Amino acid sequence: MKRMTTALATVFFSALVGAEEGKPRPDPKPSPDVLEVTPQLYAYTTELLFGEVWKRPALVPRDRSLITMAALVASGQTAQMTGHIRLALDNGVKPSEIGALITHLAFYSGWPNAMSAVGVARQVFAERGLDPAQITPPPSEPLQLDAQSETRRRAAVDEATGSTAPELARYTNDVLFGDLWRRTDLAPRDRSLITVAALISQNQSAQLTFHLNRAMDSGLTREQAGEVVTHLAFYVGWPKAMSAVPVLKEVFASRGAT
């Protein structure tokens, strides 16, 4: 396990060089080409997306950057990542958290998408002259798990996949939840937030119920969950956002939300 964790860290973080967190900057502007070719899209982008959606108070800018980066990584949209990694740094996301986000999403959107994101992050970190210590913080003790909840979760995984794909069950229990989710380079709420965003981006509603409940257990409110879906409609499309709404309704009802 230690060898696997070290190998993952080496693969994802050795390519990253670092930079100081930037100061807040004006609203991002699309390329002038957008204004020339599709002026209405330019207007929606500047006036609606950045002029309104990004400024809605239901989610702080840092949360919006996390879910936007998660959506871009999960969708393999590397062409849009440079600007959003810069914006994330400006919004208070630490370089080490960006690396942790990429590592986490390797498990939820696949290694190719994560590997493609590494090169973009490396360029932005180099551009900002980050100190390597900001990219790869010293190791810390893993988070402790609730024994009863973990026992139930492991049993559910074993029941669902153990007899059919026993090694998938083992990796899920021992690596995904036993190691990755216990790492402290992202707070539990942040891990859940980016996982929910990645699942919505990939239209994986079957997995969304569990992870939305986990996010709300970690402090995500009903209002914030609704705002996550609203924000992601602009980044992954209305059909995927609308498909997530029934799951939110079910989760809210099961938790006694009014």
What is the CB neighbour count within 10 angstroms for residue 10? 11
98-122 pLDDT, tens per residue?
999 999 999 999 999 999 999 999 9
What rounded mean pLDDT belongs to the chain? 89
pLDDT computed for residue 132 by the predictor: 78
In single-letter form, the type of residue at position 219 comes to G
What pTM was computed for the model?
Answer: 0.87
In single-letter form, the type of residue at position 165 comes to A
Contacts of 181 (CB under 8 A, 6+ apart): 143, 188, 191
188-218 pLDDT, tens per residue?
999 999 999 999 999 999 999 999 999 999 9
